[in-house]
Amino acid sequence: MPPQLKAEVNVMPKVVQGDLQSLPPEARDFIESNAKLCQPESIHICDGSEEENKKILDIMVEQGMIKKLSKYENCWLALTDPRDVARIESKTVIITQEQRDTTPIPKTGTSQLGRWMSEEDFEKAFNTRFPGCMQGRTMYVIPFSMGPIGSPLSKIGIELTDSPYVVASMRIMTRMGTAALKALSNGEFVKCLHSVGCPLPLKDPLINNWPCNPELTLIAHLPDRREIISFGSGYGGNSLLGKKCFALRIASRIAKEEGWLAEHMLILGITNPEGEKKYFAAAFPSACGKTNLAMMNPSLPGWKIECVGDDIAWMKFDEQGNLRAINPENGFFGVAPGTSVKTNPNAIKTIFKNTIFTNVAETSDGGVYWEGIDEPLPPGVTLTSWKNKDWTPDNGEPCAHPNSRFCTPASQCPIVDPAWESPEGVPIEGIIFGGRRPAGVPLIYEAFNWQHGVFIGAAMRSEATAAAEHKGKIIMHDPFAMRPFFGYNFGKYLTHWLSMAHRPAAKLPRIFHVNWFRKDSQGKFLWPGYGENSRVLEWMFNRIEGKASAKPTAIGYIPADAALNLKGLEDVNLTELFDISKEFWEKEVEEIKQYFEVQVNADLPYEIEREMLALEMRIKQL
C-alpha cells in the first residue's frame, strides 16, 4: 500500500469472521498492514453467503442506514447525506510519476481528460486521512472477481472497507466471497482500500445515518501498483471500487499492457427471425439510453434482443481473431429516474426483488417512486422524498435525486443472454458509438474503416444533462464515453485502439454511430426511439452480413434509400433525419479540431490527425 505510518496502536484487531492465516501471504500482508494503519475494532473476511448478507442488512437496519421496503421481496432503501450523491470528478485522481502518463499536457488550461496528482501530494493526502480512520468500526475484507470466476478474461480484487453498504452492494455487483478467494490462490489481485472517513466516536452527528466525510473525499488510483484508495464517500461510484475505479480506470491500463480493451460499453445479443445471432458493444455518455438499449424490447416482429451487460465490456481478440467480450459485473447499478414500463420494461421486471435502492422517494405503502416512473400513485398513497421529507408535486424539486440508483442482480433480468457468464466471452461483430445530439447528426452512419471508426469514437460529443456535475444543456466532448474513466493518457489510448488493426488475423468489428435524439425546428424528436431502435440495429446486422445497401456521405455510410425498414412506422421524415448540412459540419469539424489541438496536443496520433483532415476535405466538397 502507499506510505505506511507507524500506527500508534500496533495491535492487530480481532478477526470476527474468517481465517487470516489461511490467506495467501500477499493478501494477508495487505490486510494486516492496513488494519494496523486504520485501526478498526474488528476484521470480518466476507464469504458472500446468504447468511452473511442477512447479517449485514440487519446491521444497516439497526444503524438506520437502510430500511426494508415492505411492498417488495428483499428490497431496501438507503438515503444518503445530501453532500454524498454522485461520482466527484474533481476529487478523482490518478497518481503516476509523470503527469503525461495520466493525461496529455493541454496546450492551454487544464486537462479535461483526467486528473493527475503527484506522488508527493498523494503521500501527504494519504497520511492526513487514513491513520485511525476506522476506529470503532469493522473492517470488512471483500474478495471479488470482476468477470465470471475462472474466466481467462476475469481479474480478482480485494476491497477493504468500513461500510456495510459497500459489502451488500458489492455482493450484487461482483462475484464476491469464498469462490473469489479460491480463484485468487497465490495470483495477483488489485488492492482496494475504502473508508467513509468517520471514526467512532463521531465528532459531528450524521445526516440520514449516512457516514461520509465530504471535506476530505478523495478517490485515488495508483495504476503502477494496481491500487485504488478511496476516502470520505459512501456513494456507489466512489466506494464500490470494482465498478468504474477497477473495471475502467485500472483495467484500461492493464488492458493496454496486456493487449485488450476495457470499455464503458453495454453488450447485447440480437437474433434475427432466421435464428442468426450477432453481438454488439455500444458506448454512450450518461442519459443517452444505454441501459434502455441493452434491455430493449424490439418492435420488429421476429427479432430478439438479449442483454449481456449494460455498462462495462472487457474485450480481447482470441486465437481465431474474434473480439471476445465479457461483462465484468454481476449486477446493474442503474439510474432510477426515467426508468418506466414504457422506457425500459425489462429493467422494471428486474428490480423489484433483492435490490438496494438509493436516494429514490418512498411511497407510504412501502414502495419506491421517482420522476418518469409513469405510474400514478394509488389514492391515499403519499410520498417521502429522498431528503426524507413529505413530498407533493408543488414542492418545486424532484422527489428522487436525479442520480438516484437501483443496485440489482443481472441474473434477474428476464432477457439476460444465455451466454452472459460464458468464460470465453461473446464474439463482438459491431461497435456502436452514440450521443444526444439535437441537431446536425444523422440517425445512423457507419465508419469507412477501423481508423475512421476510432476517429468517430474520439470525436464523440453529447448534450450534457443534470446527471453530470455540469449545469445547463451544452454539447460536451466525451470521447468513447470514457472521458471521466480513462486510466492513462488519452493519446496513448487512441494509439492502443488503432493498434488492434495490426493484430494478426483480427476480425475487426464494423463501427457505427447513432443519434436517437435529433429534433425538428419545433423541438420535437424526429425518431420515436425505444423499441423502434431495433430497425437501426437490423440495418447494422444486415450490413455485417453484407446484405443491406448503403451510400457514402462526407461523414460515413448511411442507409441507401429504402434500406432502413420503416414498415408500420408513420410520419418519419427521413430527409431531415439524415440531412448532412455543410454549415453544421464545418462548425463540428472546427470544434473537434480545436478540442484535439488543445486537449490531446502532442499526443494525438497522426492517424487521427489524418482522419480529421480527410473529414474536413469531404465537408468542403459538400
- Virtual CA dihedral for 422, 425, 431, 436, nearest 10 degrees? 50
Residue positions annotated with a catalytic role: 288
Which residue, 75, 434, 499, is CA-closest to 265? 434
CA dist., res. 60 & res. 58, Å (int) = 5
Please report how the helices 450-458 and 490-499 are oriented relative to each other, as an axis angle in degrees rounded to 10. Answer: 160
Bridge-partner residues for 332, per DSSP?
408
Detail the DSSP E strand segments found in 1-91: 14-17, 42-45, 66-68, 76-78
CA dist., res. 325 & res. 147, Å (int) = 10
The Cα-based distances of 4 to 116, 127, 129, 133, 595 in angstroms read 22, 8, 12, 14, 41
Q: What are phi and psi of 180, to 5 degrees?
A: -70, -40
DSSP structure class, residue 97 = S
CA dist., res. 622 & res. 619, Å (int) = 5
| Cβ atoms of 435 and 514 closer than 8 Å | no
CA dist., res. 86 & res. 264, Å (int) = 17
Q: Provide the 3-class DSSP secondary structure of residue 557.
A: strand
DSSP, residue by residue, 309-350: ESS-EEEEE-TTS-EEEE---SEEEEE-TT--TTT-HHHHHH
Amino acid at 137: R
CA dist., res. 52 & res. 58, Å (int) = 10
The Cα-based distances of 412 to 72, 307, 518 in angstroms read 14, 11, 33
End-to-end CA distance of the chain: 57
CA dist., res. 292 & res. 525, Å (int) = 17
CA dist., res. 316 & res. 248, Å (int) = 15
